Amino acid sequence: MQYRYYVGCDLGGTNIKAGLVDMETGKVLATKGKKTHSHEGHEAVMARIADACREVVAAHGLSMDDIGGVGVSAPGRLDLETGETVFFPNLPSHWIRVPLQATVQEALGRPVYILNDVRAITYGEWAYGAGQGVDCMLCFAIGTGIGGGVVMDNQLVLNQGGTAGELGHITIDLNGPLCGCGNHGCVETLASGPAIAAMGLKAVVQGQTTIIGSMAGYDLNKINPYLIAKAAEAGDQVALQIWDLVGDYMAVAIANAALVVGPKKVVVTGGVAAAGDLLLDPIRRGMRRRMIVMPPEEIEIVRGSLGDEAGIIGMAVWAARKGALDE
CATH at 242: 3.30.420.40
Q: Could you report how far apart the first and last alpha carbons of the chain are, in Å?
A: 9
Instruction: Say if 244 falls within a structural domain.
Output: yes
Q: Is the pLDDT of residue 287 over 90?
A: yes
Please give the mean pLDDT across all residues of the chain. Answer: 95
CA distances from 242 to 207, 251, 284 (A): 15, 14, 16
Q: Can you give the pLDDT at residue 1? A: 73
Angle, CA 131 vertex, CA 126 and CA 136 arms, to 5°: 80
Can you give the pLDDT at residue 14? Answer: 92
Q: Are residues 295 and 314 in the same domain?
A: no
Whether 61 and 183 share a structural domain: no
Please, which pLDDT band fits residue 158 given cuts at 50, 70 and 90? very high
pLDDT, tens digit, for every residue of 234-268?
999 999 999 999 999 999 999 999 999 999 999 99
Residues 6 or more apart whose Cβ sits within 8 Å of residue 203: 210, 212, 238, 242
pLDDT (average), residues 135-154: 96
- Residue at 129 is within a domain: no
Asked whether the predicted pLDDT for residue 161 surpasses 90, the reply is: no
Q: Is 298 inside a domain boundary?
A: yes
> How far is it, in rounded angstroms, from Cα 15 to Cα 158?
25
Is pLDDT at 327 greater than 90 in this prediction? Answer: no
Cβ atoms of residues 72 and 9 within 8 Å: yes
Question: Which pLDDT value is given to residue 92?
Answer: 84
Closest among 232, 231, 245 to 199, alpha carbons compared: 245
Buried b (16+ CB within 10 A) or exposed e, 68-93: bbbbbbbbbbbbbeebbbbebeebee
The average pLDDT across 220-231 equals: 97
Q: What are phi and psi of 261, to 5 degrees?
A: -110, -15
Q: Are residues 138 and 235 in the same domain?
A: yes
Q: Per the domain annotation, does 184 fall within a domain? A: yes
- Asked whether residue 118 falls in the same domain as residue 48, the answer is yes
pLDDT in tens, 182-224: 999 999 999 999 999 999 999 999 999 999 999 999 999 999 9
Same domain for 116 and 58: yes
In the prediction, which pLDDT does 76 show?
87
CA distance 234 to 158: 42
The stretches of the chain forming alpha helices (DSSP H) are 42-58, 100-108, 117-128, 187-191, 193-205, 212-215, 225-233, 237-261, 277-290, 310-326
128 is a domain residue: no
Q: Distance between CA 215 and CA 224 in Å, rounded?
A: 11
The pLDDT value recorded for residue 254 is 97
pLDDT value of position 233:
97
Shared domain for 149 and 35, answered yes or no, is no
In this structure, are 284 and 319 located in the same domain? no
Measure the CA–CA gap between 236 and 228, rounded to whole angstroms: 9
- Domain region containing 219: 134-304
The predicted model gives 130-150 an average pLDDT of: 96
Asked if 311 and 16 count as a contact pair (C-beta separation under 8 A), the reply is no
User: What would the pLDDT profile of 42-98 be if each residue is shown by its tens digit?
Assistant: 999 999 999 999 999 999 999 999 999 999 999 989 999 999 999 888 788 889 999
Q: Could you tell me the CA-to-CA distances from 321 to 6, 9, 218, 224 in Å, in that order? A: 11, 16, 51, 39
**Structure letter (DSSP) for residue 180:** T
| 321 in a structural domain | yes
Q: What is the mean pLDDT of residues 135-157?
A: 96
How many domains would you assign to the chain?
Answer: 2
User: Quick one: pLDDT at residue 162?
Assistant: 85
Element of type H or E holding 8? strand 5-11
Residues 47, 109, single domain; the answer is yes
Q: Please indicate, yes or no, whether residues 61 and 204 belong to a single structural domain of this protein.
A: no
**How far is it, in rounded angstroms, from Cα 204 to Cα 67?**
53
Per-residue pLDDT, averaged over 13-32, amounts to: 95
Report pLDDT for 2.
87
Query: In the chain, helix, strand, coil percent, each to 5?
Result: 45, 20, 30
Are 166 and 268 in a shared domain? yes
Length of the chain: 327
- Say which DSSP state 220 is in: G
Res. 324: pLDDT tops 80: no
Do 116 and 138 lie in a common domain? no
The alpha carbon of 51 is separated from its chain's Cα centroid by a whole number of angstroms, namely 24
If asked whether residues 202 and 293 sit together in one domain, one would say yes
* Beta-ladder partners of 16: 11, 34
